[in-house]
Amino acid sequence: MIKGVLFDMDGVLLDSEEFMCESAIRMFSEKGLTVTKKDFEPFVGMGENRYLGGVAEQYGCEFNLDIDKARAYEIYAEITKGKLVPLPGVHDFIRRCKNKSLKLAVATSADKVKMEINLKALALPDNALDLTVNGLEVERKKPFPDIYLEAARRLGLKPEECLVVEDALSGIDSARAAGCKCLALATSFPADRLMHADWVSKTLADAPEASINW
């Protein structure tokens, strides 16, 4: 029986992908490299280490993970001021989960600094989340199951008692590898590419009742 819900963040609770992509493009531009949104698509959902590092690797660009990622986050913080908003249905879905006494966590591959920027913008009630896990707290990022296994462990739940809400292909693979059920949202990829999830909906606004009632 379901006892907890583990939310990915980007593309699930809010859509910050375009801002992170723009931040990355500007960061690489400062390094003299011109890249496009398409260059980042293979690395969506894998955390900024791979998101940025994968593109640098493709182009053979000199890349200092700590310095260049920090710069990308600086740009991200600047360009997202007043622009980050919850995706449709987020607050209502969380209320539905809380009414069922489900434990809730955010488990994101993003670093803590980005997670905090995004969660502040969501303006969730103080008691909405039981805990968070960010990409700096696990060694292996998605598609490995580590982050969802860790979130379930901290909640005191078995993975098979948890629903993962994801939007990225790597995230669905992570959820399945962890042994969780998965609701996939078609916010970043077409629905027909998400069919290996247990349920698929456009956003949390039209998430099926069955996804939190099993």
- Which residues are the active-site residues? 8, 10
Give the Cα separation of 188 and 150 in Å (integer).
Answer: 25
Query: How far is the C-alpha of 208 from the C-alpha of 61, rounded, in Å?
Result: 44
Q: At what angle do helices 48-59 and 65-79 cross, to 10 degrees?
A: 110
Separation of first and last alpha carbons in the chain? 6
| Paired residues of 118 in beta bridges | none
> Given CA atoms 19, 110, 190, 27 in this order, what sign does their dihedral have?
positive
CA dihedral (145, 149, 150, 156) in degrees, to 10, reads 170
The backbone torsions φ and ψ at residue 200, rounded to the nearest 5 degrees and listed phi first, read -135, 130
Is 112 exposed, middle or buried (CB count within 10 Å of its CB: 0-12, 13-18, 19+)? middle
Distance of alpha carbon 198 from alpha carbon 211, whole angstroms: 8
**Running DSSP on this structure, what letter comes out for residue 64?**
-
